[in-house]
Structure 1
Amino acid sequence: MPFQVPPDVSTTVHGHVTDALRAPSLIRLSDNVVLLRFETLKIYAALGAVQALLADGTVRPGDTLVDSSSGIYALALAMVCHRYGLRCHIVASTTVTPAIRAQLEILGTKVDQMPAESDLRLDQDRRIERVHQLLRANPEMHWMRQYHDPAHRLGYAELADLVRVALPGVPLAVVAGVGTGASSAGLIQPLRQHDPSIPLVGVQPFGSVSFGSERFQDPEAIIAGIGSAIPFGNIRPELYDQVHWLTFRYAVAGTIGLMRAHAVFAGLSTGASYLVAAWEARRHPERTHLIIGADTGHRYVETVFARHRDALDPGRLKPTEIDSLDDLTPDWSAMGWGRRRYSGT
């Protein structure tokens, strides 16, 4: 019998790898939980921002784009620069892996990597100061400002269209690691143009300043890229309906649990979101909970997957439900945020 290509398998021949990588795989994990799995989610952020800069003449082929990154944005920006004939300079976190650094260098990216540092705030402050040094020495460089420039939200409108086509007429809830805030805002706003009721559930590590848990110390979870030691302008708290805070070990439980239950090899923010989505889905069975799976598990092999024998059983975990940030309690807290603003402490 001749082989037949399944109707939902793309046979498109792409002109550049960025077009292939930006398309996620949609994987149904349960009746009302669907995973949007990416090799690197931030292709959408980098593509949208760079295309806008090229369109308005802010940058031209041959110009140099510079930014700070802990890993996946750096690689996304480098690939987009490769596509459009731009130069790329990355000030890399100490957490950027040798595999990512090698790819960046092969793509022609200049990489300045910060020395090993256990304090994430110091790591981020050093990176920003290094960017300022580069701009003073090379004022023709363009600073991408992924943490603050709203242009990084633009590319996610295409993702919202894809979701609406894949899940037509389905009541949704979006569950995502907060990170820089660009993907959450960029996805939920166009979705809400069609259904303003769609909840956005944000996932944070303890220790992040983004939603007021900075008094806690959990550096491993923050370094993994789902939290922040400094304020990020692209985070819009007024878009979130619910916020969950997890410790590193609970995020590990979700990540290993996702692999065991569904054979999905994904990053720490995806695992944390999976744990949260499973709990939210039991409480709200009327909605399909869409998990944003930002990256694969490759950069977490040593820090997460090598610990699989010690991982907690995610089925036994549940949050402490709180009404005030004063009541935040590790290892897992959940709070109705109610789309309110938050200016920090």
Structure 2
Amino acid sequence: MQEHIAEAVKRPDLISLQPDLVCLRFETMKIYSALGAVRHLLESGAVKPGDTLIDSSSGIYAQALALACHRYGMKCHIVGSTTVDRTLRVQLEILGVTLEQVQPSKNLRLDQELRVRRIAEILEANPSYHWMQQYHDSIHYYGYRDVAEVIDQEVPAGPLALVGGVGSGASTGAIGTYLREAGREVSLVGVQPFGSVTFGSEHVSDPDMIIAGIGSAIEFKNVRHELYDRIHWVNFDCALSGAVELLRASGIFAGLSTGAAYLTTQWERRRDDSRTYVFIAADTGHRYVESAYARHAEAQDIDSLKPHEITSLEELRHPWSTTSWPDLRASGDSWQPPVTQLRR
């Protein structure tokens, strides 16, 4: 029996779609991240019960941090984007969260910069608040150790490929790290939207892409670029096609990042059938009904889609590009990841 709803909601389901194909399905993935981070802060004395935790969110992390704060007796302040919908706003209000939403913006970079700027203003006025920095602080890795243990215990022994959105780095990067520490051979495949600076695609825009959680128009400092073996850049049309096909084939109703990961996984399986593929479904599809699933008639047959293999970031192009990340870096491409010092 669980002591709190956050503990019950966080555990993922491992769903076998084929003998070598597994979906790691979450109701909301970032609860692991938020719970692990808040617990660490309390245990280290960085915060105490009753303190206020603040962060920026496009939606999923807001719910996760709100539940973590409820679990541990903290106050919560969220600066949210316009993608925080009414269903989530009402939940946050009842949970006692202070929610501010920035003005609508057609530009993802501006939206994220406005949120960060507003957090700076709030912290100046309230220096006792603790900024969680989900995009920058490596404490968000800690909670995912449990996820890696679940995979290691339930997925048969042998080489793995873990496929999912790069996000803040505290999901695929963390799970891959802990699986490798457990002795599993892991190929880590990261999924990115075009326009994200995280792996250098900011020069290729995709105005339809609405899954900011897997990439960013601002620098994410807790992404450890050296962990990744392959990177796929997927646009809205391809992600939609993957999500629709996943629902049709398996009944799994998940977000657009899952559609992109499923599409990517099927292509990677065709390249290399020597390992078990685990792809991440980070959230459900409910908030994408109007913006994506309602357009299901536009979905393409994913077997007809294939990525453009690149050797330089200058070759990136729609609708889907991919590369061996270590090979691209070794080729002398001028792009360099941010140099940061993270707390471990």
2:122 maps to which of 108, 126, 134: 134
Q: How does 1:136-151 map to 2 (within 5 A)?
A: 136-151=124-139
2:107 maps to which of 98, 112, 119: 119
Q: TM-score, normalised by structure 2?
A: 0.94
How far apart are residue 220 of structure 1 and its match? 3.0
1:207 corresponds in structure 2 to 195
Distance 1:342 1:162 in 2: 34
1:2-44 Cα deviation digits (max 9, x unpaired):
xxxxxxxxxxx21111111111111112221100000000011
1:315 equivalenced with 2:312 (yes/no): no
2:23 maps to which of 18, 24, 35: 35
Q: How does 1:76-87 map to 2 (within 5 A)?
A: 76-87=64-75
How large is the Cα RMSD of the aligned pairs? 1.5
Q: Give the unaligned 5+ runs of structure 1.
A: 1-12
CA distance change for structure 1 residues 172 and 223 in 2, over 3 Å: closer, same or farther? closer
1:343 equivalenced with 2:337 (yes/no): yes
1:244 corresponds in structure 2 to 232
1:169 corresponds in structure 2 to 157
- Which residue identity lines up with residue 87 of structure 2 in the other structure? A
Distance 1:177 1:332 in 2: 14
Q: How does 1:166-245 map to 2 (within 5 A)?
A: 166-195=154-183, 197-245=185-233
2:269 corresponds in structure 1 to 281
CA distance change for structure 1 residues 224 and 306 in 2, over 3 Å: closer, same or farther? farther
How far apart are residue 81 of structure 1 and its match? 0.4
Residue aligned with 2:171, SS: helix
Residue aligned with 1:221, SS: coil
Whether the 8 Å CA contact 2:80–2:102 is kept in 1: the answer is: yes
1:74-105 Cα deviation digits (max 9, x unpaired):
00000010011100000001111111111111
How far apart are residue 289 of structure 1 and its match? 0.8
Residue aligned with 2:287, SS: helix
Q: TM-score, normalised by structure 1?
A: 0.94
Whether the 8 Å CA contact 1:238–1:342 is kept in 2: the answer is: no
1:296 corresponds in structure 2 to 284
Whether the 8 Å CA contact 1:27–1:34 is kept in 2: the answer is: yes
1:268-305 Cα deviation digits (max 9, x unpaired):
11110000001101111111111111000011011111
2:255 maps to which of 267, 273, 278: 267
1:90 corresponds in structure 2 to 78
Q: Give the unaligned 5+ runs of structure 2.
A: 330-334, 339-344
How far apart are residue 196 of structure 1 and its match? 6.2
1:53-87 Cα deviation digits (max 9, x unpaired):
00011111110000000000000000010011100
- Which piece of structure 1 moves more, 55-64 or 194-203? 194-203
- Which residue identity lines up with residue 287 of structure 2 in the other structure? R
Whether the 8 Å CA contact 2:159–2:186 is kept in 1: the answer is: yes
Whether the 8 Å CA contact 1:208–1:222 is kept in 2: the answer is: no
CA distance change for structure 1 residues 91 and 191 in 2, over 3 Å: closer, same or farther? same
1:45 maps to which of 4, 10, 33: 33
Distance 1:223 1:242 in 2: 20
CA distance change for structure 1 residues 199 and 342 in 2, over 3 Å: closer, same or farther? farther
- Which piece of structure 1 moves more, 25-34 or 193-202? 193-202
1:132-172 Cα deviation digits (max 9, x unpaired):
01100000000000000100000101111111110141321
How far apart are residue 222 of structure 1 and its match? 4.9
Distance 1:109 1:126 in 2: 20
Identity of aligned residues (%): 54
- Which residue identity lines up with residue 280 of structure 1 in the other structure? E
- Which residue identity lines up with residue 101 of structure 1 in the other structure? R
Residue aligned with 1:269, SS: helix
1:253 corresponds in structure 2 to 241
- Which piece of structure 1 moves more, 174-183 or 24-33? 24-33
1:334 equivalenced with 2:322 (yes/no): yes
Distance 2:266 2:182 in 1: 25
Distance 2:248 2:192 in 1: 23
- Which piece of structure 1 moves more, 323-332 or 333-342? 333-342
Whether the 8 Å CA contact 1:153–1:183 is kept in 2: the answer is: yes
How far apart are residue 224 of structure 1 and its match? 4.2
Distance 2:212 2:89 in 1: 16
1:8 corresponds in structure 2 to none
1:10 corresponds in structure 2 to none
- Which residue identity lines up with residue 262 of structure 1 in the other structure? S
Residue aligned with 2:326, SS: coil
- Which residue identity lines up with residue 343 of structure 1 in the other structure? P
